[in-house]
Amino acid sequence: MSDLPSIEALYDVCGFTWPAAAETRVGPWMIRDGQGGGQRVSAATREGEGDWDFDAAEAAMSKLGQPKLFMVRQGETELDAELELRGYQIKDPVNFYACPIAHLTDVDIPRVTAFTLWEPLQIMRDIWAAGGIDDARYHVMQRSTCTKTALLGRWNDQPAGTGYVAIYGGTAMVHALEILEHQRGMGVGKWMMRRAAVWAEEQGAGMMSVICTQANDAANALYTSLGMTLIGRYHYRIKND
C-alpha cells in the first residue's frame, strides 16, 4: 500500500474537496460551520494538545445551531473513549478507498454512458434530491475552490445517476454518487467512476479516492469490485440531549 495515499492525506482531500462554510479554532478543537450540509462539514475534530475542554466545543456547536457531533479519526482511541464516557453514541462509521488512477482508465467507456460537466444540469440536481442530497449539500460542492466537475450517467437512453468529483494534492475524490433506484444494478456506477478517473487524469491527478458508510453494502461492493483498496476508517460520535 506504499504507493497509495495515507489515511491522513485522505482526511485532507476530503476536507478540501467537501469543505465546511467556515472553520474556527476553539482550544484544541476545530469547529465547523456546516450550514446544513451534513456531518462531514459540521463535525468537530481535535487538532491540538492540552485540556480536552469538551464544554467549550459543545457550546460552540450549540451556538451554530448544530448537533453535538465529533469526528473520531483512525487511531484516536483516547478521544473515542472520552466521548463514550460523556454519553456520545457511535454514528455512521465510514470507509476510505483509494487506487491509482490507472486502475480505472484501462477499459474503454461505452459511448453516451457517462459524462463530466460543470455546472450541474437541473436533471442532475433532481437526481441528487431524490437521493437525499439537498440544496445545502449542493452548496458544499459549489463553495469548493478545488478543480472539480460533476458526473452524469445514462443508461437505456435515460439519465441514470450523478456525482461530484474534485481534486486536492494530486488525489481526486468522488462524493455524492447517486444512482436512480430503477437504474441500479446495471453497472452505471462503475462507468461513472471510470469517467471520473479519465477526467481526473486529464487534470494531472494520479490517485482516485472515495468514501462511503460501512452500512452501504452496494457502494462498498462497487469500490472493491473496481480494485480500490480500503485505506482506513473514521466514525462520528453524537450526543442526543
In a domain, 219, yes or no: yes
Q: Of the residues 94, 125, 147, which one is the last residue of a structural domain?
A: 94
Note whether 136 and 171 are same-domain residues.
yes
The amino acid at residue 140 is V
Neighbour count for residue 91 (Cβ, 10 Å): 16
Note whether 186 and 126 are same-domain residues.
yes
How many domains in the chain?
2
Nearest to 95 by CA among 216, 221, 214: 214
Note whether 102 and 221 are same-domain residues.
yes
Give me the CATH number covering residue 208.
3.40.630.30
Question: In tens digits, what is the pLDDT along the chain, a chain of 241 residues?
Answer: 458 999 999 999 999 999 999 999 999 999 999 999 999 999 999 998 878 999 999 999 999 999 999 999 999 999 999 999 999 999 999 999 999 999 999 999 999 999 999 999 999 999 999 999 999 999 999 999 999 999 999 999 999 999 999 999 999 999 999 999 999 999 999 999 999 999 999 999 999 999 999 999 999 999 999 999 999 999 999 998 7
Return the H-helix or E-strand segment holding 62.
helix 54-63
- 165, three cell numbers: 468529483
| SS3 call for 212 | strand
Note whether 41 and 71 are same-domain residues.
yes
Determine the Cα–Cα distance for residues 42 and 39; give it in Å rounded to an integer. 5
The amino acid at residue 66 is Q
In a domain, 241, yes or no: no
Q: Of the residues 42, 77, 94, which one is the last residue of a structural domain?
A: 94
480536552: which residue's cell? 52
Note whether 34 and 108 are same-domain residues.
no
Please tell me whether the peptide bond between 119 and the residue prior to it is cis, using omega within 30 degrees of 0: yes
Please return the burial class of 34, using the count of CB atoms within 10 Å of its CB with bins 0-12, 13-18 and 19+.
Answer: buried
> What pLDDT digit, counting tens, does each position of 87-137 carry?
999 999 999 999 999 999 999 999 999 999 999 999 999 999 999 999 999
Boundaries of domain holding 13? 7-94
Note whether 123 and 180 are same-domain residues.
yes
- Under DSSP, the state recorded for 218 is H
Contact 32, 42 (CB under 8 A): yes
- 151, three cell numbers: 458526473
Q: Of the residues 38, 61, 94, which one is the last residue of a structural domain?
A: 94
In a domain, 240, yes or no: no
